[in-house]
Structure 1
Amino acid sequence: MEKVKIGIVGLGRLGKRHAFNLANVVPKANLRAVCSLNEAELQWAKNELEIPQLFLSFEDMLAHADIDAVWIASSSAFHASQAKAALEHGFHVFVEKPMGLTLKECAEIEHAVQNHNDQVFLVGFVRRFDPSYRYAKELVATGAIGTPFLVRSQTCDLDEYAEFQLEFVKTGGGIFLDMNVHDIDLARWFIGSEIKEIYAKGASYVHPEFAKLGDADNTVCLATFENGAMAILSASRTAFHGHDTHTEIVGSKGILKIGMTPRRNRVEVFDSMGVHSDCIRDFYERFEEAFIAEAREFVESILEGRKPEIIARDGTAATRIAMAMTESFKKGKVVYM
């Protein structure tokens, strides 16, 4: 096999980015099929990417597409069922986060992965593929900051996306499953232990409509790990300056800070308003390089017959912790894992 033939399901805001990368940027990927319930999205794939096989039904794509792997970028509510079906049809599978919205879904995925051990399975925790985060991980591994005992990590989206997110909350699992899963995964990755205790707080400070749906527009969580380390994880739907994702790892001998200021570039403007610079607008702009590296890892793992670093258990852990954060937020109490 010289190239991996891939079929993608989901051509929304992120799905189109994935499709473009697989069709044009990842050398050993061959995007052969696309699936969407939206005819206009299928026409986009046909006209812009010249994809030969178009499907309105995911089941039809699994049954009839000439592919080796399935890339799942559909709505969160479909991730688990589609991943399980693709594995059972004998395909390698990439699935966007969250891997599942319930522990039952996650358990079914883990079982399916175990039963199809010769197939590659990768969960889309894209920040692990960002060069800055990977370098920070190397520094932690070599003891550059001693023993890490605290991770502070946040995910903040532009306020202008709040209206879109209101609709997504109804099926996406809420702010913790949608936004904090990345911070959860990073905290586990850097600390090297499992979270045992969660206390989450939050409210709808800017958009009361989220509260009506049982969700929030700003949250914070204090987590304790089995090894005694801590994490402070926050999320916001109301950033007015830009997409603001950053992480801080505190160790016994030093501190690492990643992306603390969301600058678009290194240009600073000095004018009558003072000193300022442009900010990154969305998550894809911030992690564009990481999304490409993630796709390459999936494809190269298939071609080289090896397993990726991220496994199904990581997807389950992120969902379990995000669910505990949601429970703590709604009940106003500490949740023990």
Structure 2
Amino acid sequence: MNKVKIGIVGLGRLGKRHAYNLANLVPGAELIAACSPIRAECEWAGTELGVPELYASFDEMLEQASLDAVWIASSSTYHAQQALAALERGLHVFVEKPMGVTLEECAEIERAVQAHSNQVFLVGFVRRFDPSYRYAKDLIEAGKIGTPFLVRSQTCDLDEYAEFQLEFVKTGGGIFLDMNVHDIDLARWFIGSEIAEVHSVGGSFVHQGFATLGDADNTVCLATFKNGAIAVLSASRTAFHGHDTHTEIVGTKGILKIGTTPRKNRVEIFDSAGARTDCVRDFYERFEEGFITEAREFVACIREGRKPEIRPQDGTAATRVGMAMTESFRKGTVVKLQI
């Protein structure tokens, strides 16, 4: 098969990374178009990556560019409508998480993917492509820790990004949909069951602006699964040491711990201040290999005519739980999910 011609929409903090990968690090991919309403971002794609076709409008890109696939890395509120428009045009679709910010959007996407069964559709749950998380999943499936019954997982961003997040939270779905969506997906993936009940607590302990938006800068959720397993999922916008994502899976015969210390590398520093290690600064540095593997899998699925492991139903489930976690936090009550 010839190279897969891809157009990307969204060239922000993460979108630029995706665009670089597609242009330089994904065999079989050709990034021929980029779209952003911000002129400087489009100019960056043209100058730095040599993308030949630049658009301010997503609809114009769909109409004018000769695409095989679209890569959606725009603001969360646009994910569903852009994915639906691309599917209707017969294009393969990668969409960043969350797949949709309402269950109605997610249901529409599920129906559209079913109606266009020859097209590849992939939701960006990047941690499933991280070598350490993939290895943990393989160990679980091999029975190395027995039956998993507890997942503890957290996502913590650097405090210096909090001011940016204050603006993003207005359209991003809030801390649970924006940050914990990965932890939700991992918990479901490792436990192999659906979350049936959630109880979320939290607050704006460092940045009071989040409280005025009905959101928080630090949260914890206790989730119960349909099969009786449990998960503790936390998120923070106020980590001062680095991007701190880690997960623990407890089974009847053992425990797996992934990334407990967010090490930048294997160097340990010993000096007059004591012993320490440098930490990764952001989510992309931590999951750089996962992002590249994710993109390669999307293109490989298209070229080989196969479907990804991640289904649109996984995107719907993550949104459903994230919305329930938000409702629990705002109402101060336990929320039972309809599953």
The answer to whether TM tops 0.5 is yes
Aligned-partner residue type, residue 47 of structure 2: N
Q: Which residue does 2:177 correspond to in 1? A: 177
Q: Which residue does 2:202 correspond to in 1? A: 202
Offset at residue 2 of structure 1 (A): 2.5
Offset at residue 157 of structure 1 (A): 0.2
Local SS of the residue matching 2:180: helix
Q: How far apart, CA to CA, are the structure 2 residues paired with 1:215 and 1:225?
A: 25
Q: How far apart, CA to CA, are the structure 2 residues paired with 1:271 and 1:52?
A: 51
Q: Which residue does 2:266 correspond to in 1? A: 266
Tell me the alpha carbon deviations over residues 78-116 of structure 1, each in whole angstroms, 9 at most, x when there is no partner: 000000000001100000000000000101111110110
Tell me the alpha carbon deviations over residues 20-64 of structure 1, each in whole angstroms, 9 at most, x when there is no partner: 000001111100100110111111111111111111110011111
Structure 1 residue 289 and structure 2 residue 289: aligned? Answer: yes
Local SS of the residue matching 1:2: coil
Q: How far apart, CA to CA, are the structure 2 residues paired with 1:260 and 1:28?
A: 35
Tell me the alpha carbon deviations over residues 187-240 of structure 1, each in whole angstroms, 9 at most, x when there is no partner: 000000000010000100111110011000000000000110000000000000
Structure 1 residue 256 and structure 2 residue 260: aligned? Answer: no
Structure 1 residue 106 and structure 2 residue 140: aligned? Answer: no
Q: Which residue does 2:26 correspond to in 1? A: 26
Q: Which residue does 2:310 correspond to in 1? A: 310
Offset at residue 3 of structure 1 (A): 1.2
Aligned-partner residue type, residue 325 of structure 1: M
Q: How far apart, CA to CA, are the structure 1 residues paired with 2:181 and 2:188?
A: 11
Question: Between the two proteins, what is the percent identity of the paired residues?
Answer: 77
Structure 1 residue 280 and structure 2 residue 266: aligned? Answer: no
Q: How far apart, CA to CA, are the structure 2 residues paired with 1:277 and 1:136?
A: 24
CA RMSD of aligned residues (A): 0.5
Q: Which residue does 1:42 correspond to in 2? A: 42
Q: Which residue does 2:118 correspond to in 1? A: 118
Offset at residue 67 of structure 1 (A): 1.1
Q: Which residue does 2:221 correspond to in 1? A: 221
Q: How far apart, CA to CA, are the structure 1 residues paired with 2:46 and 2:146?
A: 52
Q: Which residue does 1:323 correspond to in 2? A: 323
Q: How far apart, CA to CA, are the structure 2 residues paired with 1:192 and 1:84?
A: 28
Structure 1 residue 245 and structure 2 residue 251: aligned? Answer: no
Which runs of structure 1 show a deviation greater than 4 angstroms over 4 or more consecutive aligned residues? none
Q: How far apart, CA to CA, are the structure 1 residues paired with 2:236 and 2:40?
A: 32
Structure 2 unpaired stretches of 5+: none
Q: Which residue does 2:133 correspond to in 1? A: 133
Q: How far apart, CA to CA, are the structure 1 residues paired with 2:247 and 2:168?
A: 25
Aligned-partner residue type, residue 174 of structure 1: G
Tell me the alpha carbon deviations over residues 279-306 of structure 1, each in whole angstroms, 9 at most, x when there is no partner: 1000000000000000000000000000
Say how many residue pairs are matched: 337
Structure 1 residue 97 and structure 2 residue 90: aligned? Answer: no
